[in-house]
Structure 1
Amino acid sequence: MKAYVIEQAGGPEALLLRDLSSAQPGADEVQIRVRAFGLNRAEVYRRAGKMGPIAGQVVPGIEAVGEVIHDPAGVFRIGQRVATAMGGMQFSRNGSYAEQVTVLRDNVVALDDSTLSWEELAALPQAYLTVWGALDRSLGIQAGQTLLVRGATSSVGLAAVTYAKARGLQVIATTRSSENTARLRHMGADEVVIDGGEIAASVREIAASGVDGVLEVVGAATLRDSIKTLRPFGAVSVIGLLGGPPVLEQFHLMQDLPGAVRLSFFPSGLLGSAAMPLTESPLAWIAREVAAGRMPSLRTQTFGFDELRRAHSLMESDRALGKFVVTL
């Protein structure tokens, strides 16, 4: 099979197309023919050597959609449409930048009834599964609540906006550029706040008593300000590192953390674990909502398999404003 590999850290040119043998699935695995995959910052960081050493050949990619080739346990049938995400891809096993991928069965979701194209399906798994974990499991969102999405123009931020709106929440989204306001409103944001570094006062003008929840995509750099927007007993879930390392210097629990506010970090590595079985995920429902036009598409651009290096270059220039996908 054809697959992109990284043999040493570097820029997009470090992505090398090679012929590899496809790994046969073990008892707890499924082999999938990859039809399309979404691109993620985690893959850019992996390629650049920012997520651990590169030993031998590393196949990057943490999500894919496609058809089942073989499931030794017979849980999934041959030709079944599925999505997969995480489960050690690009770290402890080959990732999805390939014609075929062998993954843990627990990290596979059936998408039998979806009428979406492969490129539209590829925009869903990683972003929406992460949002599901952070919003439903960490924050426990409910219809009628108000959610602040800090860093909303990232693909996972946009997914949070569309998902929360579809679930009946009032959504406040932030962006550093006013040029993105129309895009965020199209995706479902009720209010858009221009982020100059401190937004708590602006958010309080919209929600005087504070918001119910915050999805923090920027990370530690803006966390202190984000938690000032919360009402008592509100909660913030950190999922992103766009603002730099996940380190809070001299964080004071009494001065920096408002009374009765909950703080958590949601790692997408939990997806498919016993704590977060993907059989409970809303991914099939989301695919139906997107197909019906009730949720807007995250996809902004589609690339061919031979255009992967160019796609990585564009991602690094922060010009995605949504989800890039690659089709095979």
Structure 2
Amino acid sequence: MRAVVLREPGPVTNLELVERPVPPVGPGWVRVKVHAFGINRSELHTRLGLAQGVTFPRVPGIEATGVVDSAPDSDLVPGQQVAALMGGMGRVFDGGYAEYTVVPRHSVIPFRSDLPWEVLGQIPETLQTAYGSLTTGLDLRAGQTLLIRGGTSALGFATAALARDLGATVLATTRQPDRLDTLKAHGVDHPLLDDGAVAAQVREIVGDGVDAALELVGTPTLPDTLAATRVHGTVCFTGMLSNQWTIPDFYPIGYLPTGVRLTAYGGGADDLPADVLQRYLDRVASGEITLGPSRVYRLDEIRQAHDDLEHNRFAGKLVVVTD
């Protein structure tokens, strides 16, 4: 099989497309024939040497979509469509940047869909994170207002779609003026140009501040996001598009606005019920939910895909197809 191997952290040239034996599979594990996989910030962090607990060389990739190739002593059967995600993929053991990957059964979610693989490849990890952020992280309800900081990321688009479907009003930011129309076209009620003072813009629209906010940029914008949120509102820290994760000398009383709640979300496949994935796929297929924009690459274009992600050249999800 072909697989992308990261020799060690560093530039995109450290990603090498090589020939490897198809990996063996034992009880409790599932071998998936990969048809498509999404490119994620997590894998960029791994390549840049920012991730913890990764050993090298490693096949990256925290998600993949394909069909079951072998699943000893399992409820899954060969040929069944599945999504595999998280649970150590691409970090503790080899991940989805390959034509075959072997993952624990608990990291596999079965589904049925006639959507093309380049569409299916956009969805699993992004949906899992968006769904978990809105439910576990924010407990968002119909009629509430949501601010998404980092709206033109794949996760931003997915969260906006889910929030609108729930009945929330969505505000979302971008640092690039030419992407405001893209946000509007994908269901954002109030696209905002991120000038570093988004809270003032938000309060012109929602006087007391939003009910909920999703922080996808990271710690540099978190204070402004907190300031855009009403008393007893909640900010969920989920993403780190800025690659800045920590707050030096964090003093909660001085940092957090009075009465604003700060939480976080980071989950796995167990947080995305199979019926939620299936319902989302069905609604995408029927046109009821529109995915954000995407860009599709071949497996031998993995270096270009990583470079495009690192330099934020495109809005939405980057997907690789193996066929």
Deviation of the 1:327 alpha carbon: 0.7
TM-score, structure 1 normalization:
0.93
2:275 is the alignment partner of 1:272: no
How many residues were matched structurally?
322
- In the alignment, which residue of structure 2 is the partner of 1:77? 77
Deviation per CA, 1:126-176: give whole Å up to 9, x if none. Answer: 111011111111111111111000111111111111111122110000111
Take 1:262 and 1:216, find their aligned partners in 2: how far apart are those partners? 13
Map 1:27-106; keep pairs closer than 5 Å.
27-52=27-52, 55-106=55-106
Structure 2 residue runs without a partner (length 5+): none
2:111 is the alignment partner of 1:111: yes
Contact preservation (8 Å) 1:219, 1:242: yes
- In the alignment, which residue of structure 2 is the partner of 1:168? 167
Map 1:276-295; keep pairs closer than 5 Å.
276=271, 278-279=272-273, 282-295=276-289
Q: Equivalent residue of 2:90, what SS?
A: coil
- In the alignment, which residue of structure 2 is the partner of 1:228? 227
- In the alignment, which residue of structure 2 is the partner of 1:17? 17
Contact preservation (8 Å) 2:122, 2:317: yes
Take 1:156 and 1:24, find their aligned partners in 2: how far apart are those partners? 33
Q: Equivalent residue of 2:253, what SS?
A: coil
Contact preservation (8 Å) 2:149, 2:217: yes
Deviation of the 1:230 alpha carbon: 1.5
Deviation per CA, 1:36-64: give whole Å up to 9, x if none. Answer: 01111221221232224764421011111
Deviation of the 1:259 alpha carbon: 3.1
Amino acid at match of 2:224: D
2:323 is the alignment partner of 1:324: no
Take 1:229 and 1:56, find their aligned partners in 2: how far apart are those partners? 42
Q: Equivalent residue of 2:303, what SS?
A: helix
Ranges of 4+ aligned residues in structure 1 off by more than 6 Å: none
Take 1:32 and 1:54, find their aligned partners in 2: how far apart are those partners? 22
TM-score, structure 2 normalization:
0.94
2:279 is the alignment partner of 1:297: no
Alpha carbons of 1:54 and 1:168: their partners in 2 closer, same or farther (altered >3 Å)? closer
Contact preservation (8 Å) 1:9, 1:54: no
CA RMSD of aligned residues (A): 1.7
Deviation per CA, 1:231-260: give whole Å up to 9, x if none. Answer: 222111111112342222344433432333
Deviation of the 1:310 alpha carbon: 1.5
- In the alignment, which residue of structure 1 is the partner of 2:302? 308
Deviation per CA, 1:298-323: give whole Å up to 9, x if none. Answer: 34211111111121122222112011
Contact preservation (8 Å) 1:132, 1:281: no
Deviation of the 1:73 alpha carbon: 2.8
Alpha carbons of 1:294 and 1:213: their partners in 2 closer, same or farther (altered >3 Å)? same
Take 1:37 and 1:152, find their aligned partners in 2: how far apart are those partners? 21
Take 1:239 and 1:62, find their aligned partners in 2: how far apart are those partners? 16
Take 2:293 and 2:65, find their aligned partners in 1: how far apart are those partners? 14
Take 1:98 and 1:291, find their aligned partners in 2: how far apart are those partners? 26
Take 1:115 and 1:158, find their aligned partners in 2: how far apart are those partners? 22
Q: Equivalent residue of 2:269, what SS?
A: coil
- In the alignment, which residue of structure 1 is the partner of 2:186? 187
Take 1:132 and 1:248, find their aligned partners in 2: how far apart are those partners? 26
Deviation per CA, 1:77-126: give whole Å up to 9, x if none. Answer: 210111111110111110101010111111111111x2211100000011
- In the alignment, which residue of structure 2 is the partner of 1:245? 244
Take 1:104 and 1:298, find their aligned partners in 2: how far apart are those partners? 30
Take 2:312 and 2:159, find their aligned partners in 1: how far apart are those partners? 19
Deviation of the 1:27 alpha carbon: 2.4
Q: Among all aligned residue pairs of Structure 1 and Structure 2, give the percentage whose two residues are the same amino acid.
A: 37
Alpha carbons of 1:325 and 1:18: their partners in 2 closer, same or farther (altered >3 Å)? same
Contact preservation (8 Å) 2:54, 2:92: no
Deviation of the 1:209 alpha carbon: 2.0
Deviation of the 1:280 alpha carbon: 5.5
